Amino acid sequence: MLISVVKEIKPAEQRVAITPSGVAALFSQGHTVHVEFGAGANAGFSDEQYAAAGAMLVGQAEAWASAELLVKVKEPIASEYQFLRDDLALFTYLHLAADRPLTEALLQAGTLSIAYETVQDSTGLPLLTPMSEIAGRLAAHAAATYLTGPEGGPGKLLGGSPGVAPSRVLVIGGGVVGTQAAQLALGMQAEVTILEMSPSRIRQLNDLLGNRARVLMNDPLTLENELAQADVVIGAVLVPGRAAPKVVTREQLGLLQPGALLVDVAIDQGGAFETSHATTYQDPIFEVDGVRHYCVANMPGGVPQTSTKALTNATLPYLLQLANRGVEAALEANPALAKGVNTRAGHIVCSGVAAAFTDLPSVEAASALV
């Protein structure tokens, strides 16, 4: 199979879809791999390393045009829509429920798109988990950074100081992102509260964290009480394939303390806060009603070498299945991978995306594989 890896052109995105070691694994199985010139440079991987692994270095247009299977990190942006076609399989993060223009472009082109974030097996979301882990940790870093005075914050240290109370971090959602954010914030000696809606997950978090953090059932009164005490609120909620639920309304911003910071890790799926909109590392902060928001849409892109290696570790086994079996046979053989299909032949296949865009053509996933 001919597999192409393109350079990411979304603003501030420095990851690349696969490492040279991953290319070598594909090449050893007899596949042809085209890598766009400079695709890995920002993540610390040179063109020479890709060539040594067996890749052919090509330009952007050739990488897209030659591919049977094209692998990326982030969703195509508007300037890349022209490259979509009906005989292309696209394997990347898509987050379509929060992106109508891309959804429409994929449908119009008839592209078979497989989203990392909706591949689902018995363990959960194996291709989303490594980036969620990194994003959760980066959320705690962002909290520590943007509480400081030079970054426009109230001048608080996340962990306080002997005789001075630590900052209060409220994490809404106790999944992978929330757990990682809480653990790193605890490591910086912050006072951490996690709000979660699943009783079984609450028990798991209690076992994991012991008495180092408060883990509470998320109900309206508890949420409002905790918002009023928080220095930082981290939105870490996710419904696979669907738009993120809005867990903090604009009206509730009035409950927050002066100088409070919202960190929205769910922004790729539309955001967990009603007042969120996507930002970039170049301009990460905006203010609504006196409350600062940090809503960087590709947080793991800020640590591209770590992220690229972690992503390749997760995606390569699936990529090898797609290449070795052929896309259709791999999807038929692996139900977890089949759940990643979001669009096919001009129709939405993923139920979460279909729910977001009820006026666009869709089919049941089972029917799409017939």
- The whole-angstrom separation of Cα 275 and Cα 266 is 13
Side chain identity at residue 137, one-letter code: R
Beta bridge partners of 344: 347
Give me the active site residues, please.
95, 268
Name the phi and psi angles at 257, rounded to 5.
-75, 155
SS3 per-residue string spanning the chain: CEEEECCCCCCCCCCCCCCHHHHHHHHHCCCEEEEECCCCHHHCCCHHHHHHCCCEEECHHHHHHHCCEEECCCCCCHHHHHHCCCCCEEEECCCHHHCHHHHHHHHHHCCEEEEHHHCCECCECCCCHHHHHHHHHHHHHHHHHHCCHHHCCCCCCCCCECCECCCEEEEECCCHHHHHHHHHHHHCCCEEEEEECCHHHHHHHHHHHCCCCEEEECCHHHHHHHHHHCCEEEECCCCCCCCCCCCECCHHHHHCCCCCEEEECCHHHCCCECCCCCEECCECEEEECCEEEECECCHHHHCHHHHHHHHHHHHHHHHHHHHHHCHHHHHHHCHHHHCCEEEECCEECCHHHHHHCCCCCECCHHHHCC
Tell which residue, 69, 31, 25, 4, has the closest CA to residue 316: 25
Tell which residue, 139, 291, 141, 296, has the closest CA to residue 228: 291
- The whole-angstrom separation of Cα 200 and Cα 204 is 6
